Amino acid sequence: MKDQEYTALPPHLLREGKDADSSIDWRKLGFKSGLEIHQQLLTEKKLFCRCPAGIYGKEGEHDAEVLRHMRPTLSELGEYDGTALMEFRTRKQILYLLNQESVCTYEMDDTPPFLINQKALDIAVEIALMLNCNLVGELHVMRKQYLDGSIPTGFQRTAIVGTDGYINLRGRRLTILQLALEEDSCRELADEGHTITFMTDRLSMPLVEVVTGPELQCPSEVAEACELIGRLLRSTGKVRRGAGATRQDVNVSIKGGTRIEIKGVPSVRLIPRLVRKEALRQKALLEIRNRLWQKDLDPKGSARTDLVDHILTNTQSTVIRNALQRGHRVGAIRLRNMGNILSSKTVGGRTLADEVSGRVRVVACLDEPPYLIHRGTQGQNALSNREWRSIRKRLRAKAEDTVAIVWGPEEDVRIALEEIELRLLEASLGIPPETRQVLPDGLNDFERILPGPDRMYPDTDSPPVPVSDNRIAEARKQLPSHPLKRERRYLELGMPRHQTYFLAISPLHTVFDEAVTRGFSPKMAARLLVEERISLRRKGVNISLIPEDFYLDILDGLDKELFYREGTRRVIKAGAERSLSMEKPEKSTKKDKKKDQPEIDIKHILKELNFEPLKGEQLNTAVEKIMNTTDLPETKDPEAQKRYFMGAVMYRLAGRVCGETVSRIVEKTLRG
């Protein structure tokens, strides 16, 4: 199999990718995309303090709250950068919810950082090697500013572990610009009006950030790169899985456009659609710009604004009526010669008005959709013609002028009106550089202005950490083989794709290889290591502590017919329980627990489960006895009868008997 033919995408993603790629000439569009993949690492503790990692609190059950604000710091030229200014304008109160067990005073920025978690660093080094990066000689912890409140310090501690790596993708090399080790941020719970609420449990958990070059050429390729990198990371067995453990930011630009960053895309599956729609949104915005170039626009400052609530006291518009009842104000803005530009279509049934309202929502902290009403607004929120006439008259709007209204507390309304003017001015320049958030339908919405480059400075609280040759040599020993190569080998063994896919990224692939070397059937080994484990994990059994040798013992037991296939799950489960109880600290006194506790012994477990194999005459007798004591089924269909008795027998004897043999005996007994 050649590289070019091989794809990391599983079949369902392949289909979505093809759909997203269709009917657009991506090269001609000048499409470029890159990824930033954030992957939490599987460590016991957090990155800069000794809090346990991976303990998630339940909403509403927090122990304490802390209230903070973020204040922009001056940049090099003494100016506040765009993002900083915008976020300061929003005057947000930031509320942190804290849980005793998952957060200490470090996370709340009341204690300086402890030395960086060495285990996390080892994992990051291993990943850097896997991505063919140049490793740094010394790790320097930096502070990357975030003023949105997602980190209580106002900055994220982050350090470069490797640079200039690559992975093979579609027959060429995809650049890995850098691999950083950093602390995770808070989970946002709510952002309403002037208060943003964060849960702090995830805060400061170690993660790696993988940044690719902007070299991806079409939506399916973006998804494939994301999937492949994700699989590479998971194949180490040292990263977290599950909801929120992997999050990606997707950067998209087209010719003549601007780099747009879509934050926190939760799954690869969403990527093809999302990327396609973003490219189309940018294309539409460029077309809108071209249309605005045809118009005779006034320079900034010529907008006219006013409060117009008195005009709307008897309005039928639901949202305005509610706003006025609450004592909110309504403000209107007039922009010269922009016509019905707000109704211009962007993508997915959206218009330029949606772009503008996204900005107003965030910057002015307005919290009642649709945030903005204009002439094109339809439905229960629309204003009557008469109301529009009065507002336009008040603003001295001519026929070609654009008018829009917003509502909220007076100060917010003032900021919102300024922001509308600013955003429409940007529309005439092209695509404003923004960070956008993903919506469930594959569309996206404004989140914040893209941060400037001046957001990074050294963390004076953390000493540099040398990354020694020894450390790298140790990490290299841990490197798993490339999961794609592995998968190809498994496919060549004749295994089905649904097994090879999971096995290739499973840390237990070494067990599989060992099993095959020892001559066990690949099919049997794969079923044990993939399907049985996934099924138990789904049922909530914690199988993480089972020693790898135990799986080989199981295969050996099956091979020697110490028990039978149908009992496998129960054996694993018993092994899981035993491994957990061995781990429990209360059982270990000062003595080495490994000495006074028995190993996880398969024979012992089989005995406990009463898995004594039944063979020959013994088996015949046992089967007949069960069949005799089982009520006859109502059905006369011989096949159904057979299934019925099989079920009864296997329920009683699972694990102790070979299913096929039982089947033969049942059949014989029924016939006889």
Tokens of 660: 């096929």
For residue 51, state whether it binds Zn ion (rule: CB under 5 A). yes
**By C-beta, is 6 or 114 nearer to another protein?**
114
- The interface with another protein within residues 106-145 (CB under 8 A) comprises 108-112, 133-140, 142, 144-145
**By C-beta, is 51 or 330 nearer to Zn ion?**
51
Residues 416-435: x where in contact with another protein by CB under 8 A, - otherwise, as a string: --------------------
The CA–CA distances, whole Å, from 633 to 144, 574, 641, 645, 654 equal 70, 33, 7, 9, 21
For residue 464, state whether it binds another protein (rule: CB under 8 A). yes
Helices (H), 170-259: 219-234
For residue 195, state whether it binds another protein (rule: CB under 8 A). no
35-43, 147-155, 297-305, 638-646 -> range binding another protein (CB under 8 A): 147-155
For residue 297, state whether it binds another protein (rule: CB under 8 A). no
Among 29, 82, 119, 164, binds another protein (CB under 8 A): 164
- The interface with another protein within residues 434-453 (CB under 8 A) comprises 453
**By C-beta, is 107 or 426 nearer to Zn ion?**
107
For residue 238, state whether it binds another protein (rule: CB under 8 A). no
Q: What gap in Å lies between CA 307 and CA 417, rounded to an integer?
A: 10
Please give the distance of CA 543 from its chain centroid, rounded to a whole number.
23
Burial (Cβ within 10 Å: 0-12, 13-18, ≥19) of residue 5: exposed
Q: What gap in Å lies between CA 124 and CA 672, rounded to an integer?
A: 66
Residues 89-108: x where in contact with another protein by CB under 8 A, - otherwise, as a string: ---------x-x----x--x
Read out DSSP for 390-425?
HHHHHTT--TT-EEEEEEESHHHHHHHHHHHHHHHH
What residue 540 binds from another protein, Zn ion, none (CB within 5 to 8 A, per partner kind)?
Answer: none
Smallest gap from Cβ 161 to another protein, in A, equals 9
Report the DSSP pairing between strands 434-438 and 260-265: parallel
**By C-beta, is 56 or 114 nearer to another protein?**
114
Q: What gap in Å lies between CA 388 and CA 375, rounded to an integer?
A: 8
Among 454, 531, 556, 559, binds another protein (CB under 8 A): 454
For residue 66, state whether it binds another protein (rule: CB under 8 A). yes
Query: What's the order of all strands across the beta sheet hosting 304-307?
Result: 304-307, 329-335, 402-408, 373-374
Among 74, 85, 429, 439, binds another protein (CB under 8 A): 74
For residue 159, state whether it binds another protein (rule: CB under 8 A). yes
Q: What gap in Å lies between CA 614 and CA 93, rounded to an integer?
A: 70
* 3 state SS of 141: coil
For residue 106, state whether it binds Zn ion (rule: CB under 5 A). yes
Smallest gap from Cβ 77 to another protein, in A, equals 8
For residue 548, state whether it binds another protein (rule: CB under 8 A). no
Instruction: Give the number of other Cβ atoms within 10 Å of residue 355's Cβ.
Output: 25
For residue 147, state whether it binds another protein (rule: CB under 8 A). yes
What residue 135 binds from Zn ion, another protein, none (CB within 5 to 8 A, per partner kind)?
Answer: another protein
73-81, 246-254, 269-277, 541-549 -> range binding another protein (CB under 8 A): 73-81
The CA–CA distances, whole Å, from 548 to 512, 514, 555, 556, 616 equal 10, 11, 12, 13, 33
Read out DSSP for 272-288?
HHHHHHHHHHHHHHHHH
For residue 71, state whether it binds another protein (rule: CB under 8 A). yes
Smallest gap from Cβ 105 to Zn ion, in A, equals 7
172-180, 213-221, 222-230, 350-358 -> range binding another protein (CB under 8 A): 172-180
What residue 74 binds from Zn ion, another protein, none (CB within 5 to 8 A, per partner kind)?
Answer: another protein
For residue 48, state whether it binds Zn ion (rule: CB under 5 A). no
Among 58, 78, 517, 628, binds another protein (CB under 8 A): 78
Q: List residues bridging with 168 in a β-sheet.
A: 173
**By C-beta, is 111 or 544 nearer to Zn ion?**
111
Residues 232-271: x where in contact with Zn ion by CB under 5 A, - otherwise, as a string: ----------------------------------------
- The interface with another protein within residues 612-671 (CB under 8 A) comprises none
User: Buried (b) or exposed (e) across 319-341, using 16+ Cβ within 10 A?
Assistant: bbbebbeeebbbbbbbbbbbbeb
For residue 75, state whether it binds another protein (rule: CB under 8 A). yes
For residue 68, state whether it binds another protein (rule: CB under 8 A). yes
Read out DSSP for 484-521?
HHHHHHHHHTT--HHHHHHHHHSTTHHHHHHHHHTT--
For residue 455, state whether it binds another protein (rule: CB under 8 A). yes
Q: How far apart are the first and last CA of the chain?
A: 53
What residue 479 binds from Zn ion, another protein, none (CB within 5 to 8 A, per partner kind)?
Answer: none
Among 104, 177, 307, 422, binds Zn ion (CB under 5 A): 104
Read out DSSP for 92-112?
-EEEEEE-TTT--TTTTTSS-
**522: cis peptide before it, omega within 30°?**
no
Among 13, 131, 180, 332, binds another protein (CB under 8 A): 180
**By C-beta, is 65 or 608 nearer to another protein?**
65
Compute the C-alpha angle 455/461/462, nearest 5°: 95
Phi-psi group of 609: left, alpha or beta (phi > 0 → left; psi -120 to 50 → alpha; rest → beta): alpha
Smallest gap from Cβ 351 to Zn ion, in A, equals 46
Compute the C-alpha angle 657/662/666, nearest 5°: 150
What residue 41 binds from another protein, Zn ion, none (CB within 5 to 8 A, per partner kind)?
Answer: none
DSSP run (H or E) holding 478: helix 469-478
For residue 507, state whether it binds another protein (rule: CB under 8 A). no
Read out DSSP for 328-392?
-EEEEEEETT-TTGGG-B-STT-BHHHHHHHHHHHHS---STTS-EETT--GGGPPPHHHHHHHH
Among 19, 73, 513, 566, binds another protein (CB under 8 A): 73
Residues contributing to the site for Zn ion (CB under 5 A) = 49, 51, 104, 106-107
Residues contributing to the site for another protein (CB under 8 A) = 62-79, 98, 100, 105, 108-112, 133-140, 142, 144-147, 152-155, 158-160, 163-164, 177-178, 180, 453-460, 463-464, 466
